[in-house]
Amino acid sequence: MNHQLRTGLSTVPEMDDTQFVRWQGLLEERTGMCLAPQRRSFLQTSLGLRMREVGCDSYQEYYDRIVNGASGAIEWSTLVDRLTVQETRFFRDPDAFAFVEQFVQQKAAESGDDGALEFWSVGCSSGEEAYSLAMVAERHLTAQGKRYAVTGTDISTIVLRKARAGRYQPRALDWVTDEYRQLGFKDLQPGSPVQVSDTLRQRCCFSQVNILNLANCPLQSQHVIYCQNVLIYFRRWRRREILNVLAERLAPGGILVIGLGEMVDWQHPLLEQVHSSRVSAFVRKQSNSTGETTRR
């Protein structure tokens, strides 16, 4: 029997076990994300609505379209935007950003000019995280005559376009302090969309990167790598692979920040873990004159 489920937008066919496993496998193969069985309804609805848009009557017909030919690659790009976009907001984890802010303050106080401080927001979604890092950097570095740059990467082209535009609904500022509101946004009017300041937008760039291909990403010598609420969507062995690559992309003395509980037993010879119950972070050890790593 061909059961159907009704949503607020349309009627979509019910997904059986065989089709769920097939689509679950395709998503993990191409993005690394492991979709839990509990999220079958999310997958079913997302696929069903897109199938309705393109005129496919079954999951198998749509699957065949996705995996075959150049048109399939284009359709996959559209679909992956809907399947991988995650919720985010400005200063989402106050403890983690307080840790980053403390690190930036230390860098601002250091004498000499070693070039721009580099920040990387991994899985930046629609840009709030990257702009939050930029606000912290702008507040503490610019006054000291120091430069910075922020790079946000994500697999979704749709959210990257929103990130580049830097335009958000007023409720996006609910977690932003008054000081950062004045620093990071312009033309603030009650009830109106808010626009990230030109200064911050000029300091931030956004690029499409599949986290499975991090080894080919050109970013190197990053002072801050912020990778929160990303690893939870991957299997544990793949989380280790991702973190190993990120560790190698840190500059000596740089910090890697991940989500609490995302990877509790991971270690890397280049890194020293920060001992804190509120933040999950690591510091890349400094190198001495012989090239050996030393404790910070």
Compute the average pLDDT of residues 136-149.
95
* pLDDT (mean) for 96-103: 97
pLDDT for position 60: 93
pTM above 0.75, yes or no: yes
> How remote is the C-alpha of 1 from its chain's centroid?
41
Can you read off the two tokens belonging to residue 184?
């990071």
Looking at residue 3, its pLDDT comes to 42
Digit-coded pLDDT (tens) for 18-73:
999 999 999 999 999 888 888 888 899 889 989 999 999 899 999 999 998 888 88
- One-character DSSP codes across 178-226: HHHHHHHEES--TTS-EEE-HHHHHHEEEEE--GGGGGG----SEEEEE
Q: What pLDDT, on the 0 to 100 scale, is given for residue 105?
A: 96
**pLDDT (tens digit, 9 = 90+) per residue, 226-251?**
999 899 889 999 999 999 999 999 99
Angle CA(227)–CA(228)–CA(232) in degrees, nearest 5?
Answer: 105
Who has greater pLDDT, 2 or 149? 149
Q: How far is CA 115 from CA 111, 118, 167, in A?
A: 12, 9, 30
pLDDT in the model for residue 36? 86
Q: Is the pLDDT of residue 157 over 60?
A: yes
Return the pLDDT at 142. 94
For the ranges 6-15, 182-191, 283-292, which has the lowest average pLDDT?
6-15
Q: What is the predicted pLDDT for the residue at 11?
A: 65
Q: Tell me the average pLDDT across 141-155.
A: 95
Structure tokens at 87: 């919720």
4-84 and 94-294 in the same fold: no
Q: What is the average per-residue pLDDT within 97-107?
A: 97
Phi first, then psi, for residue 72 (nearest 5°) are: -65, -40
Cα–Cα dist 175/173, whole Å:
5
Pairwise CA distance, residues 121 & 117, whole Å:
13
Q: What is the pLDDT of residues 169-196, one digit of tens each?
A: 999 999 899 999 999 999 778 878 999 9
Q: Are 86 and 229 in contact (CB under 8 A)?
A: yes
Report how far apart, in Å, the C-alpha atoms of 210 and of each of 81, 133, 279 are. 12, 21, 26
- What are the residue ranges spanned by the domains of the chain? 4-84, 94-294
**HSE value, Cβ hemisphere, 13 Å, CA-based, for 154:** 33
pLDDT at 138: 97
Tell me the CATH architecture of domain 94-294.
3-Layer(aba) Sandwich (3.40)
pLDDT value at 4 more than 70 = no
**CATH hierarchy code of domain 4-84:** 1.10.155.10
pLDDT at position 9: 41
Find all residues with CB under 8 Å of 44, minimum gap 6, and list them: 5, 12, 14, 15, 20
Listing DSSP states for the chain in one string gives ---EEE-SS-EEEPP-HHHHHHHHHHHHHHH-----GGGHHHHHHHHHHHHHHHT--SHHHHHHHHHSHHHHHHHHHHHHHHHH-----TT--HHHHHHHHHHHHHHHHSSS--SPEEEEEET-TTTHHHHHHHHHHHHHHGGGT--EEEEEEES-HHHHHHHHHTEE-GGGGTTS-HHHHHHHEES--TTS-EEE-HHHHHHEEEEE--GGGGGG----SEEEEEE-SSGGGS-HHHHHHHHHHHHHTEEEEEEEEE-TTS-SS---TTEEE---SS-EEEEEPEE-TTS-EE--
